[in-house]
Amino acid sequence: MEKRTGFVEANDGVRLYYKDTGRGKPVVLIHGGGLSKGWWSKQIPVLSRRFRVIAADTRGNGRSDKTPWGHRTARYAMDVREIIETLELDEVTLVGWSIGARTVLSYIELFRSYRLKGAVLVDEVPSIEVHDPPDDPPEPETEPPPGDESEHRRRELKKMFVSLDVSDAALDVLLEESRENTPAQGVTLGPDYQAQDWRPMLPSIDLPVLIATGGRSGAFPGCRYMYENIPGARMEVFEGSGHALFYEEPDRFNAVVAEFVDTLHAPST
């Protein structure tokens, strides 16, 4: 499988690292806040057999520049546009998870359907007001030994999974790519997240949208709200999964996304 890597320089000088794999209709993957493109490890090899898959580290994360500024969904959306333009992509399907999904909503608000064919919103809410805690109360847990930062971070990640017992080794791989991430992003990204409310915009979206959500995720009510308010939206519920449904049920997720992209590019009848 042909792979290309490199950096796109944003208009404020920040370099954004990307991996570009496969050929065909372009699919751009946008990871969650404070993480890295490594979370798409179960999607890139499969989807790139049929599509051109571009996964980038958002600013401050992974191998992208560790800038202390620009950590807002609007800036992230501009970064996505600059990646699309630099790589000369057209008829793009954006796939955004968590903060990545909010980045997609921001992109649509700012640029509408510019160079897009469709969008996949993965387990995110349009407003914090339509977010519920999981149905099952968290089980009591013992605190890791003081100073054991790796164990603490593993435990935080494990909260995203419901049906999958992810090994420490697998979690360490995910953690390694984000170990040097810019801590400053939380200073602005958190308040930005709390303040955003995309609900008034949803009925104006005239782009095909697929919503994927975990049935046991606190984001489920917000995903259902988007499904009910985005014209023509489609929703897929991964009943046994939590926030990281694409990692817990990769085969089904990949199949659903591939079918959606195929539908977008099917000849008109």
Torsion 87-90-96-100 (CA) sign: positive
User: What digits encode the pLDDT tens for the residues 150-176?
Assistant: 788 888 899 899 988 999 999 999 888
Task: Please report whether residue 269 resides in a domain.
Answer: no
Task: Please report whether residue 224 resides in a domain.
Answer: yes
Question: Of 244 and 164, which is predicted with more confidence?
Answer: 244
Task: Please report whether residue 204 resides in a domain.
Answer: yes
Phi and psi at 208, nearest 5°, equal -60, 130
The pTM of this model reads 0.93
CATH code, 98: 3.40.50.1820
Task: Please report whether residue 124 resides in a domain.
Answer: yes
Q: Domain containing 108: what range?
A: 3-264
Structural domains in the chain (count): 1
Task: Please report whether residue 16 resides in a domain.
Answer: yes
Phi and psi at 213, nearest 5°, equal -145, 150
Residue 209: beta bridge partners? 119
User: What digits encode the pLDDT tens for the residues 24-56?
Assistant: 999 999 999 999 999 999 999 999 999 999 999
Task: Please report whether residue 65 resides in a domain.
Answer: yes
Q: Is 218 left (phi over 0), alpha (psi -120 to 50) or beta?
A: alpha
Task: Please report whether residue 111 resides in a domain.
Answer: yes
The C-alpha angle 84, 126, 79, rounded to 5 degrees, equals 20
